[in-house]
Structure 1
Amino acid sequence: LVPHNIGRGGGGGGGGSAAAPGWDYEANFELEGGVLTRTFLQPPAGATWAHVRITRVDGAEEEKDSSPTPDNASRLLVLHCMQLRPQHPYREGEMQTYLRTARNATREAKVRLDPGHLLEVDVGQYWSSLGHTPVKVQVQFRGVSPLNSAPHLFAGAGILPVEVQHDGTCPRHERLKPSAVLNTLRRVYAPKAATIRTGGERDVLLEPEKVMHALVLQYEVKLSSAASVKLSWPVLNDELYESPFASQLFLAFDAHKKCVGCGDAWSDKVSLGKGASTVQLIVRHDDMKTLKRLEALPLTVIWDLNGKSKVSVDVHYCRHDATLGGSKAGVHLLQPGTRQLLWLKEPSKSSIPKVAKDGGELSGYITFTEDVDSGAKPPSGSRSQVAGYPLSYAVDTTSASTGEASSPPPFEPETAPADAYRTALRDAAVKHLKSLAGKPAFEEIHAGALAAYGDELPLLVARMEHEDALAKKASTAEAWANVGEACDAVVAKIDVVELAQYYGVKHDLEDPEAKYHDKQFKKKKDTLVDALRVAAACKKALHSLAESDDAKAAFLSAMAELAKWVDVKETKHADLLVYKHKLEGSRGDALKVLSQVAGHDDPNACKALSAAQAKKARAALCGELGWAHIERMEKLLAIVAAPANYAPL
């Protein structure tokens, strides 16, 4: 280590020579492998970032020694800058980078500063980089900061004023070029259960009267799609030896109680599937009252938004531009001792990523100055670790408008009051009938509804669902035959020719009336597909009861009818497709479909064939193919994938 250099912003203090114009600190050092120079600088009160330049001063090119010595080679230098802040991990105020430098080359870096804290600038030559290297180190302090250091956009506010200042302690003009982005989503979950356990003999501390207790918190996290997220408890995280608690550990489980992730005070990302997942946290302490205070401790789930899912926030210099969508903020020169008012525009609802539609807080950062003062590209080998100021936005989950153009009112055909009343009564009867599917009370109420409204399509659908529920219980040929008759009645009621003609051409769905008719035709198509699917499942059941050629032909014919309207390769039809492949002798194709269902993000993508059932069927099919070793492995993996209980904490 060379002697410490102590300097102050605004001049080359002790250990540093008089700084060149435009620089606050300058010093020359002779570096060699394994030698570290340490310089301590006091930044001005208004400095928010520092510009560090390292230049090799090897002399003119003609003075270069022609002999192949290490002094003529490039050097690997290390720049390490740090500010220590009380009760903050040192890594939060640290920047370290490696700089490859050629003869007389210049390398630069930018470092974020927290005002009021001493800055340590360390420069060294990597231990394996041989030879002596004369370098010149220059430091320049710059500063622009918002009066509100953590701006927050409120949903519905539309715009947010943010005032930035250049307090003049850094006597240089700053080139403003503000930009803002939201790249993180946070959502908070309250615990579903909290249990305090008293430790056993192994949890007794050295003091006989003290016993370690454990608080176990259980959370349910529901996701609309699979995601890789970070699980955080901000009150507890980022402390280990300094923490007042003995330990903090968590386990994450999928819907089948399989452990999919774990962590402690510093959590890595955990992959959670679609639907409900369970998270358990255990915190230990010798005082039960202390643990009771944490029984309502919330869990924060954090998503990183990348690529198109990031939300850009428009920044303007004029309020009217922010309100009317005018020109965005460009480059603006801010003089020392002056301020500039900026206006942030609330993100449009269409720009909010799908994962944030269920609510939460979007967070990111806002920066105010150009990364390079001249506007040119940074020199080769430069580094920038100047982070912006935190920015947050609470996502609005209501349908309230944020100033965007509203869609035209939906089209509603004119209906006589008596007809509307009759339709409402029929729909209420159908809703009640569906709740009675498979029950004895269905017949009497259905007969009354038929007498009142005739064989209208909703009543025929209710009959089909009722017969299907009865057949699944009885599993007899007669019961499944009744299902087939009910399906045929539904299909016969739908004008398939009219439906095919409608979907044979495109329609202008921007028109409210066309959009209304499209919705009605979609309902008919969905009803037809449901009836054809139930019919195919019925023929499948009949073939399994009596494996005749006629039953096989009937099932394949039903699948062909279903394929006219939908892609039968969709996961929702996987149970029928697997059966079809096996009937046709294509067991490899059946195995492929089962693997798709078993590995699907949504374990209930196919209602008739869950992921667990698919894994079991896949193991059995492997056995049929003579792959006994794979069958055994599949059965063992199935136990691991769906254990009987949660792993103990």
Structure 2
Amino acid sequence: ARKLAFEMRFRLQSTQDWVKTGDAMFMNYSGKRFRIEVDPTELPPGVHYAEVQGMDAENEGRGPLFRLPITVIIPETVPMPEGTVSGSEDFTPGRIVRRFISVPHGATWMDLKLRRPGGHGCRLIVAHTLQRLEGWSNEDGEHQKYAFLGPDAEAMESIAVVGGRTLELCLTQYWWSLGETAVEYEVAFHGVETDDRHLELSAGDAPRRVLLRSPFRKTTIGPAASLTTHRQVIHPAKAEIRPLSSERDLIPDGRQIYEAQVTFRFNQAKSGTVVPRLPLTDGLLYDATIGPHLWQLYDRNQRLLRTDDIWPDDAGPLRLAKGPHTLVVWIRSTQQSHLAAAKNMVLYLDRSLSSPLSIGVFADRSAADAGGPRFSSEMLQVGQILPIYVAAPKSSQLPAAFGDGDLLLGSISYAKASSSQEGAGKRPGGYPLVVTGKKKSSGSSGATGTPRKNALAEQILDLKVNHLKSLSEKDQKAFDEISAEILKQKPNYMPVLVARLHRMDHEAKRKERLADVVAAADAVIAQVDAEALATHFGTNLGTGSEAQKLRAKLTKQRDILIDALYRKGRALGYMELPEVLEKHPITDQDAHNKAFEDNFAELAKWVDTRDPKYALLHIRKERRQQRYGKALSLLNQRIQEMGAVKLLDKKRRDMYESLEWEHLRQNADDWMLRRFPHGPQPF
């Protein structure tokens, strides 16, 4: 009843004559629409403000009951063909001067020049430019310059712009920079138009033609292009959507909050920096359909490395150790259907290339096909159109880690600075350059050659050996039957002996069958002529194809011998562990010691036992000789090189305990709790 009884009469008035509206309005409880006409055509350049005010028709003395603010910005036109605007201002701390400029069509960058005529002392002047474009955030279209200006000093800054749109230029003297200051400023626009502002190439493709045009002033053209970033594309390993707690996660009006949890897994091939990006929701806050998101990154030990949000560049690159990593993303929304898109979101991993990959730019197609000469420089006259050709990189130039779906990112710039021109002489940052492609396989060309007489039998034998390697621990009976069948056909067949050794030396069962590991290793070692290998690798290799084939064959045998010696030495060392000695005591310690030392000496003939691959066996040798200082030094070196590896940290803690260094043992225990948590940290 109170709603129905509400009614009010307003008298409408405008504070400026370029805004027109009706004289009166009657409004009930449901509100009222009315028409406003804004005619800015006669307004001069600058900022203009007006209000439509609603007065109580029965008591205007109450003043406006509502105000509708209207702001109109009329940018000033840049005189052409000069393409320059200028001015001078007297500043005091905190005084802000704003100018709105209509950027000429075809302009791609501007040079802002600040000059302080005379004066004394030093002043900090701040210049801030902003272009508001659809689909851009303010951060994408803004630029700031802080310039310390002494008497008669100048500062120059080149800024990328978009032609045909309004630019806001703000100048101020910083608040703590005291005193009055006169500043002269000049804005000069430049431009090189291109028919492709986002250039995408495919590795191995034909050169791409790009057309350049100078819209309003002659410009020196000197194209330069390079790729600096490898972007790896990762797809979700797991994604699920679930409702959150009905007691805690409810909107006040009763709507349920849902959560999408998306898990990505990737392998860091070597230690280095990476920037994770989630293009579906990065940079989107209030205007996001879903999100925003939070993510957490874990290493192979489930240790939390970083938590971040929708602005990945704020925290900077993250240094990761070699090995597997997991990134988990959480996105929440009251609309369960909106979260369905998160199941197909991708993760970008941006890594800087070790050195920029230069992209060739040429004056004509024939030079591009021949690989030279490259485009040098040329003066582009006003209105002239110039074709250039950008060559795609070869597949062989792609990084070794480049995979299917990956991208190479970089930039291309077209203009070139000249001695007669101030500023950068080109658009800062250039234009985006993207390269797609597929790493060329280094496999065989596909030629089969002349079929060998026993090719079918050898292929069947290879299939059986590969099947042996694929059998799990539960398939021991099948392994024994197939291996016995092959060894009956070909006694002491090396691939079967190696497969048996690796099976016996499986990490999960190793300590239960150490004697079998030693026996299997001895069987492999017995089939390798170590003296013949030593003789071969101690002589210079010939250049013929037969010599190369022999070297490849003997290299494979050498690697098998080294692998068997290492596995045997590790098994002999494990036999001395307390938990193993309880079940399987060593009956002849002297013979055991001799077996370990002889095996280690043989391994040392072929490899540097301090190498990370064999260092644990070398550490075992030093500990057996009670040279704990050397063992601990080598162990610390391996931990520093390999990062957080639980086995290494555990061995170091055990060594502290053996030496009765209780304070270091306790410290090692504390750090192991941090480095190797029992599970991922809860979100």
TM-score, with structure 1 as normaliser: 0.83
Look up the equivalent residue of 2:615 and give its one-letter code. A
Counterparts of residues 195-206 of structure 1 (less than 5 Å): 195-200=240-245, 201-206=247-252
CA distance in 1, matches of 2:444, 2:236: 42
User: How big is each residue's C-alpha offset from its partner over 1:155-186, in whole Å with a ceiling of 9 and x where there is no partner?
Assistant: 331321122222x3x2x101001111112222
User: How big is each residue's C-alpha offset from its partner over 1:615-641, in whole Å with a ceiling of 9 and x where there is no partner?
Assistant: 222222222222323323333332333
CA spacing shift, 1:470–1:436, aligned 2, 3 Å: farther
2:610 is equivalent to residue 585 of structure 1 = no
1:641 aligns with 675
CA distance in 1, matches of 2:140, 2:576: 67
CA distance in 2, matches of 1:474, 1:149: 63
1:572 aligns with 613
SS at match of 1:355: coil
CA spacing shift, 1:323–1:197, aligned 2, 3 Å: same
Match of 1:539 among 561, 572, 584: 572
2:10 aligns with none
User: How big is each residue's C-alpha offset from its partner over 1:224-244, in whole Å with a ceiling of 9 and x where there is no partner?
Assistant: 234422222222111224434
CA spacing shift, 1:242–1:442, aligned 2, 3 Å: closer
1:500 aligns with 534
1:417 aligns with 452
SS at match of 1:579: helix
Look up the equivalent residue of 2:611 and give its one-letter code. E
CA distance in 1, matches of 2:498, 2:290: 60
1:367 aligns with 413
1:61 aligns with none
2:361 aligns with 315
CA distance in 1, matches of 2:427, 2:76: 22
Counterparts of residues 170-319 of structure 1 (less than 5 Å): 170=216, 172-200=217-245, 201-208=247-254, 210-245=255-290, 247-267=292-312, 268=315, 269-305=317-353, 307-308=354-355, 310-319=356-365
CA distance in 1, matches of 2:621, 2:265: 38
Look up the equivalent residue of 2:564 and give its one-letter code. A
Q: CA deviation at 1:466?
A: 5.8
Contact 2:402-2:438 within 8 A present in 1 as well: no
1:63 aligns with none
CA distance in 2, matches of 1:158, 1:602: 44
SS at match of 1:72: coil
Counterparts of residues 500-649 of structure 1 (less than 5 Å): 500-507=534-541, 512-543=545-576, 545-546=585-586, 548-598=589-639, 600-601=641-642, 611-649=645-683
Look up the equivalent residue of 1:294 and give its one-letter code. A
2:582 aligns with none
Q: CA deviation at 1:361?
A: 0.9
Contact 1:362-1:395 within 8 A present in 2 as well: no
CA distance in 1, matches of 2:218, 2:75: 26
1:453 aligns with 490
SS at match of 2:300: coil
1:62 aligns with none
CA distance in 2, matches of 1:489, 1:415: 35
2:129 aligns with 81
CA spacing shift, 1:465–1:57, aligned 2, 3 Å: closer
Structure 1 gap segments, 5+ residues each: 12-20, 59-70, 401-406, 604-610
Match of 1:46 among 106, 110, 116: 106
2:152 aligns with 104
2:81 is equivalent to residue 9 of structure 1 = no
SS at match of 1:34: coil
Q: CA deviation at 1:434?
A: 4.6
Look up the equivalent residue of 1:523 and give its one-letter code. K
CA distance in 1, matches of 2:458, 2:173: 84
CA distance in 1, matches of 2:659, 2:498: 40
Match of 2:168 among 112, 116, 120: 120
Counterparts of residues 384-463 of structure 1 (less than 5 Å): 386-399=428-441, 417-434=452-469, 439-443=476-480, 445-462=482-499
CA distance in 1, matches of 2:511, 2:341: 54
Q: CA deviation at 1:44?
A: 0.8
SS at match of 1:531: helix
CA spacing shift, 1:526–1:7, aligned 2, 3 Å: same
Q: CA deviation at 1:597?
A: 4.7
CA distance in 1, matches of 2:575, 2:136: 70
CA distance in 2, matches of 1:484, 1:107: 76
User: How big is each residue's C-alpha offset from its partner over 1:429-469, in whole Å with a ceiling of 9 and x where there is no partner?
Assistant: 44445556983455554444344223344344345446656
Q: CA deviation at 1:354?
A: 3.0
Contact 2:413-2:427 within 8 A present in 1 as well: no
Structure 2 gap segments, 5+ residues each: 1-45, 48-73, 578-584
CA spacing shift, 1:51–1:506, aligned 2, 3 Å: farther
User: How big is each residue's C-alpha offset from its partner over 1:122-154, in whole Å with a ceiling of 9 and x where there is no partner?
Assistant: 333333444443332112111102111111102
User: How big is each residue's C-alpha offset from its partner over 1:266-306, in whole Å with a ceiling of 9 and x where there is no partner?
Assistant: 1233444434322211111112122234322222222233x
1:68 aligns with none
SS at match of 1:39: strand
Higher mean C-alpha displacement, 449-458 vs 572-581:
449-458
CA spacing shift, 1:390–1:192, aligned 2, 3 Å: same
Look up the equivalent residue of 2:157 and give its one-letter code. A
Contact 1:181-1:364 within 8 A present in 2 as well: yes
CA distance in 1, matches of 2:496, 2:623: 35
CA spacing shift, 1:227–1:395, aligned 2, 3 Å: farther
Contact 1:225-1:601 within 8 A present in 2 as well: no
CA spacing shift, 1:551–1:106, aligned 2, 3 Å: same
SS at match of 1:354: coil
1:28 aligns with 88
Contact 2:75-2:166 within 8 A present in 1 as well: no
CA spacing shift, 1:415–1:648, aligned 2, 3 Å: same
Structure number with higher relative contact order (C-alpha < 8 Å, ≥ 6 residues apart): 1
SS at match of 1:92: coil
1:66 aligns with none
User: How big is each residue's C-alpha offset from its partner over 1:529-574, in whole Å with a ceiling of 9 and x where there is no partner?
Assistant: 1121133224324555428244223212211110110111122223
Contact 1:367-1:388 within 8 A present in 2 as well: yes
User: How big is each residue's C-alpha offset from its partner over 1:181-226, in whole Å with a ceiling of 9 and x where there is no partner?
Assistant: 1122223222222222223222221213x12221211222233234
2:418 is equivalent to residue 352 of structure 1 = no
Contact 1:54-1:106 within 8 A present in 2 as well: yes
Higher mean C-alpha displacement, 223-232 vs 539-548:
539-548
Q: CA deviation at 1:582?
A: 0.7
| Percent of paired sites with the same residue | 27
Q: CA deviation at 1:118?
A: 1.4
Aligned alpha-carbon RMSD (Å):
3.4
CA distance in 2, matches of 1:106, 1:484: 79
CA spacing shift, 1:232–1:432, aligned 2, 3 Å: closer
CA distance in 2, matches of 1:485, 1:298: 49
Q: CA deviation at 1:523?
A: 0.4
CA distance in 1, matches of 2:134, 2:504: 72
Match of 1:491 among 525, 547, 559: 525
SS at match of 2:99: strand
2:380 aligns with 334
TM-score, with structure 2 as normaliser: 0.79
SS at match of 1:77: strand
CA spacing shift, 1:418–1:99, aligned 2, 3 Å: same
CA spacing shift, 1:384–1:621, aligned 2, 3 Å: farther
Q: CA deviation at 1:519?
A: 1.8
CA spacing shift, 1:496–1:411, aligned 2, 3 Å: farther
Higher mean C-alpha displacement, 439-448 vs 534-543:
439-448
CA distance in 1, matches of 2:295, 2:113: 45
